Amino acid sequence: MSDWGAVFVSVMLFILLMPGLLIQIPGRGRFIEFTNFQTSGVSILVHSLIYFTLICIFLLAIGVHMCDIFEMADWAPVLVGVVLFVLLSPGLLFQLPGHYRHVDFGGMKTNGKSIAVHTLIFVAIFAVLIMALHLHIYTG
């Protein structure tokens, strides 16, 4: 039996915390900026820490699951989610599609299309690692 709770929570947090989509902390000109479709290394770091905190709360402390087979804390969705969040943040390493090309590298900008594409890539990789390959990291 598969647990889609981790996938759902991870994807929702990925979308909602994408720097520049709804909010960017810190912004380029102010501490907080809203829907500016910009990003930076610092804001990706800050948003990654927020992502890590929220995913720990939802998956480990509250235990959001869509089935009841897990009794131990599984750190795999947390770690995989945070690593993918950083690597797939549009504009940090790459942006697909880019503003003027199919792929831009390190432009520190984003747009609605690239957020959608990066979200699909996030879902695919996360689901393969967690659901198909049954990646688990249990502690304690």
DSSP string, 78-115: HHHHHHHHHHTSTTTS-BSS-SSSS-BSS--B--HHHH
pLDDT reading at 70 higher than 70: no
Tell me the whole-structure pTM to 2 decimals: 0.82
Q: Which amino acid appears at position 74 of this protein?
A: D
Nearest to 89 by CA among 73, 107, 62: 107
- What mean pLDDT do residues 117-131 have? 93
**pLDDT for res 72:** 61
For residue range 88-121, what is the model confidence (pLDDT) as tens digits?
999 999 999 998 899 999 999 899 999 999 999 9
For residue range 34-54, what is the model confidence (pLDDT) as tens digits?
999 999 999 999 999 999 999
- Phi first, then psi, for residue 34 (nearest 5°) are -115, 135
pLDDT reading at 1 higher than 50: no
**pLDDT for res 36:** 93
pLDDT reading at 67 higher than 60: no
Indicate the domain borders of the chain.
Answer: 5-132
